[in-house]
Homo-oligomer: A and B are copies of this chain.
Amino acid sequence: MVNYRTVEAMRNRIRIERAILDITQADLAERIHVSRQTINAIESNKYVPSAVLAMKIARIFGKTVEEIFELDEND
């Protein structure tokens, strides 16, 4: 059981919103012109997306950035 590197700064609802739209990580990646691995990494909190990506993702889901991403307490 290994500890994968994650960034403790935000939580996100991408997986849930993807499920609602019924689209894959690859679909989402294609729609915002990033690699599938980038979506996977953001979705699983391996790193924090740029504001541009966050806004594009939120826009696909018809939500605000704050409805998709939540800042961790303690900052």
Chain A residues in contact with chain B, CB under 8 A?
9-10, 33, 48-56, 58-59, 64-66, 69, 71, 75
Chain B residues within 8 Å of A9, by CB: 52
Chain B residues within 8 Å of A52, by CB: 9-10, 48, 71, 75
Looking at A50, A53, A71, which has the most chain B CB atoms within 10 Å of its CB? Answer: A50
Considering the chains assembled together, what is the distance between the CA atoms of A66 and B33 in angstroms? 20
Given A64-B64, A64-B65, A65-B54, A71 and B48 touching (CB < 8 A)? no
Minimum CB–CB distance from A56 to chain B (whole Å) comes to: 7
Chain B residues within 8 Å of A55, by CB: 10, 65-66, 69, 71
Considering the chains assembled together, what is the distance between the CA atoms of A51 and B9 in angstroms? 10
